Amino acid sequence: MPLTFSATGADFLAGLTFPEATRTALALRARALGPAIKICGLSTPDTLNAALDGGVDLVGFVFFPKSPRHLTLDKAADLAAITGTRAIKVALSVDADDAALEAIVSALDPDMLQLHGHESPARVAAVRARFGLPVMKAIGVSSAGDLAGVPAYACVADRLLFDAKPPAGADLPGGNGLVFDWELLKGLDLPAPFMLSGGLDAHNVVEAALRTGAGAVDVSSGVESAPGQKDPARISAFIQTLRAGVCDETLGSDAATG
C-alpha cells in the first residue's frame, strides 16, 4: 500500500510560474505520488531520456566548470530540445554573474534557476527580478547554525533546497554524496514546500521524504556509476522506489550511496 507523504509534488509546484501545460500535467501526476523528483547533473541524451521516460518532474543541468557534470552551452541547448515540456528544466549555477546567467538562460531556456553558491539574499532577489524566472536557493546544512539564514532566503527565493554542506576545502558545493541530519529541518517555518538533497539514493529516499516532509527530492551522485556518469538503471530505480513508496532492492548491495 502506498505511503502517505506530508507534502507532495503538487504542493511543491503550486503557484510557480512554469509553462502552464508542463506545470498542470506534473501537478496532476504528482498529487497522488508523493514528492516531486529532480534528477540533477544530467549531461547525455541517453540518461536524460531515462529520466524523462521514467516520469521525472524536474531535470537539472549544471553550469559550473569545476563539476564533472558541467555542461557547455551548446550541449545544454541540445538537451533542452530533447526535454521540451516533458519536465521542468532547472539551471544550476554557482555564484554566477549576470553575464554568465544571461548566456545560460539563452542556451537552455530554463523554467527555474537554482543558485547553489554563496549568493546573498539580496543577490537572490536581484536574479529573480532580472530574469523573471522562479529561483531556488540551495542552503548547505551540517549543523543547526547553518539554518540561521533561512528566514532571509525564504523571503526572496521561490523555493529552498536543503543540501549537505560540503567539507572544508571541497571543490563542489553539492553532489558530494553526503547525508546531513534530517532532524535539523524539523520545526522550520517555511512559506512553501522545500526540496531535499544530499546523499539520496534508491535505498534512503523514501525514509528521507517521510522524515522531513519534503515536497521534492533531488538526486545526483546517488544515481551515478562514477562521478558525473549517470546510470539509467539507477535513475529508474530511484524514481520507481519513491513512486511506489517501498524500497527497491534491484541495484543490490553495490548500489551508489551518494
**Residues 164, 119, 59, CA angle at the centre, nearest 5°?**
60
Among candidate residues 166, 183, 180, 257, the one with its CA nearest the CA of residue 220 = 257
In a domain, 4, yes or no: no
Per-residue confidence in pLDDT tens, the chain, 258 aa? 556 777 888 888 888 877 666 666 665 555 556 899 999 999 999 999 999 999 999 999 999 999 999 999 999 999 999 999 889 999 999 999 999 999 999 999 999 999 999 999 999 999 999 999 999 999 999 999 999 999 999 999 999 999 998 776 666 665 567 899 999 999 888 988 999 999 999 999 999 999 999 999 999 999 999 999 999 999 999 999 998 874 443 344 343 333
Q: Is residue 256 part of a domain?
A: no
- Residue 59, domain CATH: 3.20.20.70
How far is residue 13's CA from residue 124's CA, in Å, rounded to a whole number?
Answer: 19
Would you say residue 232 lies in a domain?
yes
Q: Kindly state whether residue 257 falls inside one of the protein's structural domains.
A: no
The domain tally of the chain equals 1
In-domain check, residue 258:
no
The predicted structure's pLDDT at residue 25: 63
Which tens digits make up the pLDDT trace of 50-91? Answer: 999 999 999 999 999 999 999 999 999 999 999 998 899 999
Domain range for 35 is: 9-244
Residue 253 lies in a domain: no
Q: Is 111 inside a domain boundary? A: yes
| Position 82 in a domain | yes
Give every CB contact of residue 160 below 8 A, 6+ residues apart in sequence.
136, 137, 138, 139, 150, 153, 154, 190, 192, 194, 195
